Amino acid sequence: MVIFAAAMGVGSYLLVELNLFNELPANWPVVAAIWLLIAVGAHLAVRFRIPYADPLILPCVLLLNGIGLAMIHRIDKIPDPVRHDATTQLMWTGIGVGLFLLVLFLLRDHRPLQGYTYTLFVAGLGLLLMPLLPFIGKEVYGSRIWIAIGPYTFQPAEVAKIVLAIAFASYLVEKRDVLALAGARFLGIDLPRPRDLGPILLMWLASLAVLVFQRDLGTSLLFFGLFVMMLYVATERPSWPILGLLLFSAGAYAGFLLFSHVQVRVDGWLHPFDNFDQNNQIINGQFGIAWGGLLGRGWGLGRPGLTTFAKSDFIAAAIGEELGMAGLMAVIMVYALIVARGLRTALAAKEPFGKLLSAGLSFVLALQVFTIIGGVTRLLPLTGQTTPFLSQGGSSLVANWAIVGLLLAISHQARKPVARVSADPLAGPAYAADGFDSDTTQVIRGDGRAQR
């Protein structure tokens, strides 16, 4: 599957060159070798370091990453001016895979992360609000979500989503019994007790701060939605997501009334053709997808460059134009496979921290894909999120590769065989899924007590 996924990326790159120039570039064997080396290297690291990890997640990620690189390369070839963003994105892919490998070798077992609940929570909020700092905070196209250090820019919210997911999982494992207690009953739903509303109100206020001061609707929705979902998974109380939806709806409506940038997003969603100058990105993206039709124009045969930010915010529209609705739906199904395997890992995890963390990381990817592709197709207002593994951008790519490393580490712990109880102290371990850790063997001593 890894070879197939890598070959899809290389094949897409070669089709772009053939359709645009009727010949292959002189350096294509070097490009193909680099991509195959990255893919096979990541696969071998997984096989040797965490051999019981989910076998489907890595090939799906490599497939998306390869298609994203090919599409960025295709848009690079649009003249005036010709750019080389695909080369930069390939470099960020190498850094992302390097971080992925670092996660595998340092965090083969994810459970020690549970001991840093409040440290990670403070660090995550600090990263989330860091762009508000003077001097390093940078506003780009109306949103203050970047920090700039010298010539380099970075989006700290991409790292914050990982840190906060770990902090939320640890906190909810510790407090889930308290948060699951029922208070008043309304319309057949057990509401939480008023004294337990502190965490959700804190996250609501933090998400409003992101919406108000950073002007970033997507990040606000992502982090608040992540916390509410993990709260529901931990407590199994439907009152929490209902309360979360009401709070977010109230905050979004207040933001619409008070802030012009939210009004622009909503107006572009509901009435894009009323103002071409303001909504030309949405309009061109819609026409591009429509021109692509069911099967697309073909690699290199569309005009995705007419859409602003086709490499980043609207790369899904570029894919829809050149690969058609069939290709775009196939991409969405690959995302669905990654999320489904992450949720399956959550179901298989033997301890609650792993369950919550795997579910949270899977939901982050699902919500991010839903909000950005929903915005491109006008199902939702535009949120400015990146499309994971496809869009141009180093911050998002590196952070998402770290998420994949965590998911695979959790799946290794969930799927690996475990030692069976043996009546013979001298016998070696027999493996079965009985709930014991495979790194130890449990034997029965002469006095009848179990000993590892």
Q: Does the pLDDT value for residue 47 go beyond 80?
A: yes
Structure token pair of residue 76:
């690079």
Q: Give CA–CA dist 257/302, Å, rounded.
A: 39
- Which SS3 state, helix, strand or coil, does residue 83 take? coil
Q: Does the pLDDT value for residue 433 go beyond 50?
A: no
pLDDT at residue 92, as a whole number? 94
* Mean pLDDT computed over 275-279: 84
- Of 138-147, 277-286, 373-382, give the lowest mean pLDDT range: 138-147
Looking at per-residue pLDDT, the higher value among 93 and 218 belongs to: 93
pLDDT band at 430 (very low <50, low <70, confident <90, very high): very low
- Of 37-41, 45-49, 189-193, 443-447, give the lowest mean pLDDT range: 443-447
Q: What is the pLDDT of residues 181-216, one digit of tens each?
A: 655 555 556 556 665 566 677 777 877 777 767 777
Q: Identify the burial level of 123 via C-beta atoms within 10 angstroms of its C-beta, where 0-12 means exposed, 13-18 middle and 19 or more buried.
A: middle
pLDDT at residue 322, as a whole number? 95
pLDDT at residue 449, as a whole number? 45
Q: Give CA–CA dist 144/15, Å, rounded.
A: 38
Q: Does the pLDDT value for residue 332 go beyond 60?
A: yes
* Mean pLDDT computed over 353-359: 92
pLDDT, the chain, mean: 84
- Of 37-46, 104-113, 176-185, 324-333, give the lowest mean pLDDT range: 176-185
What's the total number of domains in the chain? 1
Which residue do the tokens 């069976």 mark?
420
Is position 449 within any domain? no
Alpha carbons within 13 angstroms on the beta-carbon side of residue 418 total 14
Q: Give CA–CA dist 332/369, Å, rounded.
A: 8
What DSSP assignment string belongs to 141-160? TTEEEEEEETTEEE-THHHH
Is position 441 within any domain? no
Q: What is the pLDDT of residues 78-122, one digit of tens each?
A: 876 677 889 999 999 999 999 999 999 988 788 888 888 888 888
Is position 205 within any domain? yes
Distance between first and last Cα of the chain = 38
Is position 432 within any domain? no
Q: Does the pLDDT value for residue 399 go beyond 70?
A: yes
Is position 445 within any domain? no
Of 150, 190, 195, 96, nearest to 396 (Cα)? 96
Q: Give CA–CA dist 50/61, Å, rounded.
A: 17
Is position 36 within any domain? yes
pLDDT at residue 197, as a whole number? 65
Is position 425 within any domain? no
Structure token pair of residue 7:
């070959």
Is position 447 within any domain? no
Question: 139 is in which domain, residue-wise?
Answer: 1-409
Q: Give CA–CA dist 88/392, Å, rounded.
A: 9
Helices (H) and strands (E) in the chain, counts: 14, 9
Distances (CA, A) of 99 to 52, 105, 303, 345: 20, 10, 35, 21
The CA-CA-CA angle for residues 408, 411, 416, to 5°, reads 125
Helix 157-179 / helix 352-376 crossing angle, nearest 10 deg = 130
